[in-house]
Chains A and B, each alone.
Chain A
Amino acid sequence: AQAHQVDELPNYKGNNPINFHHYAGHIDLPSNGQKMFYWHVESQHSPENDPLVLWLNGGPGCSSLGGFFTEIGPFVVQRDLSVKLNQYTWARKTNLVFLESPAGVGFSQPVLNATDYNDEFTSDRAFEFLEQFTKAYPQFKNRDFYITGESYAGIYIPFLVEKMLQTPTTGLNLKGYAIGNPFTDAKIDGNAYVDYYYTHALISMESYNDIVDKCSDELSGCLFSTTNCSKPCHEAVVDSPITSDTPYLNPYYIYGDVCV
């Protein structure tokens, strides 16, 4: 494993020079040769002492570079494809590493056999990546380490935390994990959907009562597919604004504009 300093990024527009180092490239995994793409950004405070923080987007199948450029990384891409600095980057006081996981996502390669797309395999490969990462960047041996992410990382992260606790071979000192809007339990998270719509005045009391009456505990199966959904429940959901008004609402940000 080698560290790869990012060459000068094109179209950079900023009033101040970049005051941090960053590195990107592929790290090969010994077990099966997967080439995992990562982008590592050094802390703008004290890179030799600050903790290392891994960020994982969810999906499953979404790239952590999305989180890099639209949430917590040091750069933001503008309409003319220039980049500006993000003054709220989490690299302000921590060293960040964004991992595109599992293989097949973003620049990580190759696309795997379908049977390998599961959470045990994904967390094992992420763990293996961390072992190789600390070989490429040995300054992080014994460094405090945090795992962060969002959405389906609500599954990835507890798996990876368990793996690191059971097999402390990465050389990292796991201190904590932070997960935003974490998908955690299909039944509990799925059944909360209709309560959220009702309590935020997005569906009527009549629609809410109709769904509750006809869906019981099967709601999550009716929202995301019809595989485990009875006909009455399916009809109640489809007839409600939950599904009929989706072109006019961004359910991921109910007060936000819909990007057309």
Chain B
Amino acid sequence: CTDRFTQDYLNLPQVKSAIHVEGKLTWTDCNSMIAERYNRTSSALPKYKGNLQTNVSALIYSGDADAVVNFIGTERWIGSTEGLGLKVKSKWSPWYGPDKQLAGYSQTYAGLTFKTVKGAGHMVPAIRPLHALYMFECFVYGQDACDSF
């Protein structure tokens, strides 16, 4: 229930003052009115085709206990021909956290790495904070940082 505590906290007058929010703004986690108004793009795949042609690295990760935007669909838009159809460079294999526990599975493609995070939901760091931090720092700093985490 940390999302509820967060909402109560951010609406405390002394918190709003500390973070320089003026006036009578009320903070909510999500604004349903914007969600309803928003003209959503049906697919980001055309953007990937250009973005993957550069040296900018990409990590896509999936908490495997999320049904809503789940890893099955994610793997399909990365690897299948109905999606990007990226070629596999390194096949599906387990990855382990600094606690030596199985943290998920990983597959690398040309220009993109896909990892699952075992047991995590939609908000991965909320459920698997250690494995999420490790995965993130390994992505940013590389294998040496991973090894000395």
Contacts and interface: CB of A to CB of B under 8 A. Distances in A.
Given A59-B34, A65-B6, A183-B69, A88 B129 contact: yes
Nearest to A252: B122
Interface in A61-85: 61-63, 65-67, 69-72, 76-79, 81, 83
B60 to A, nearest CB: 6
A133 interface: no
B72 A118 contact: no
Most buried by A among B28, B47, B141, B145: B47
Given A184-B43, A186-B43, A60 B35 contact: yes
Interface residues of B, number: 82
Given A92-B133, A106-B28, A178-B139, A39 B19 contact: yes
Please report whether the interface of chain A is mostly helix, strand, loop or mixed according to DSSP. mixed
A117 B50 contact: no
25 contacts: A59-B31, A61-B30, A63-B28, A66-B29, A69-B2, A70-B2, A72-B132, A102-B34, A109-B25, A146-B140, A158-B48, A177-B59, A181-B66, A181-B69, A181-B122, A185-B43, A185-B83, A187-B42, A202-B67, A252-B67, A252-B68, A253-B66, A254-B67, A255-B119, A256-B65
Interface of A: 4, 6-11, 24-26, 37, 39, 51, 53, 59-63, 65-67, 69-72, 76-79, 81, 83, 86, 88-90, 92-94, 102, 104-107, 109, 111, 114-115, 117-119, 146, 148, 150-152, 154-155, 158-159, 161-162, 165, 174-193, 195-197, 199-200, 202, 250-256, 259
